[in-house]
Amino acid sequence: MHDDIRRLTAPDIRARKGGEPIVCLTSYHAHTAGTVARYCDVILVGDSLGMVMHGLETTVPVTLDMMILQGHAVMRGSRRALVIVDLPFGSYEASKEQAFASASRVLKETGCGAVKLEGGRRMAETIAFLVERGVPVMGHVGLTPQAINTIGSFRAQGRDESDWAPIEADARAVADAGAFAVVLEAIAEPLARRISGAVAIPAIGIGASVACDGQILVLEDMLGLSPRVPKFVKRFGELGPSIERAVKNYADEVRARSFPGPDNVYAMRKPKR
Ligand code: KIV
Q: What is the mean pLDDT of residues 61-82?
A: 98
Q: What is the mean pLDDT of residues 212-217?
A: 98
Q: Cα of 145 to ligand 1 centre, how many Å?
A: 8
Which of 22, 43, 47 has most ligand 1 atoms within 8 Å of CB, for mutation? 47
Query: Where residue 50 falls among pLDDT bands split at 50, 70, 90?
Result: very high
Q: Cα of 46 to ligand 1 centre, how many Å?
A: 5
pLDDT at 4 over 80: no
Q: What is the pLDDT of residue 228?
A: 86
Amino acid (1-letter code) at residue 30: A
Which of 53, 85, 216 has most ligand 1 atoms within 8 Å of CB, for mutation? 216
Given a contact cutoff of 8 angstroms between Cβ atoms, the answer to whether 146 and 93 are in contact is: no
Given a contact cutoff of 8 angstroms between Cβ atoms, the answer to whether 261 and 272 are in contact is: no
Q: What is the mean pLDDT of residues 79-108?
A: 98
Identify whether 238 is a catalytic site residue.
no
At how many degrees (to 10) do helices 64-77 and 96-110 cross?
Answer: 30
Could you tell me the pTM of the whole model? 0.95
Q: Cα of 257 to ligand 1 centre, how many Å?
A: 44
> Which ligand 1 atom minimizes the distance to the CA of 183?
7
